[in-house]
A = this chain, B = another copy of it.
Amino acid sequence: MTELKQHLNEKGLRLTWQRQVVMEVVGKHKGKHLSSSEIFELVKESHPSIGLATIYRTLPLLEKMKLLNKICLDDGCVRYESYTPKEQEHHHLICMACGAVYEVEQDLLGIKEKQIIRDNHFSIKGYMVKLYGYCESCAEKKSEMKKEVAL
């Protein structure tokens, strides 16, 4: 039995082709950070009859079942990506100039976690780091502009 069906059964929910297709589509785009409407468009390619409301219902559901990760990259919409378990969380570099997003595969917090839990009486289930800065090409453009102004 597929992992999706398993999770659904546990909660008395039903397996529909809509839920399967959403899982498949996101799974086919590892490394991408897809908005709800982008997922809608991708699903429609193979299943044009699906409704947008179903997408908006399905994504939070899959997230709660930990089959997807929800992320918020400050561009005004929620995005989703394939689930990464706590042990191999990854993080995001966001270019403040062009908005490009790069992934960082590294444990960025490490042992500090335990200390935070002690200090704050807060049990930590996961974390997300967003790093803001400039990608290589945007950094170059910025230094060129400074030169021009100096002339």
Interface residues of A (CB under 8 A from B): 70, 72, 74, 78, 93, 95-96, 102, 104, 106, 108-109, 112, 115-116, 119-136, 139
Contact = CB atoms under 8 A, between A and B. Distances in A.
B108 A122 contact: no
A116 B139 contact: no
A104 B109 CA distance: 13
Contacts of A116: 93, 104, 106, 131
A74 B74 contact: no
Given A104-B120, A121-B135, A126-B133, 4 more contacts: A104-B119, A106-B115, A125-B133, A125-B134
Given A70-B74, A106-B116, A127 B132 contact: yes
Contact of A112 (B106, B135, B136): B106
Contacts of A135: 121-122
19 contacts: A72-B74, A93-B116, A93-B122, A95-B122, A104-B116, A104-B120, A108-B108, A108-B109, A109-B129, A121-B135, A121-B136, A122-B134, A122-B136, A123-B139, A126-B132, A126-B133, A128-B129, A128-B130, A130-B130
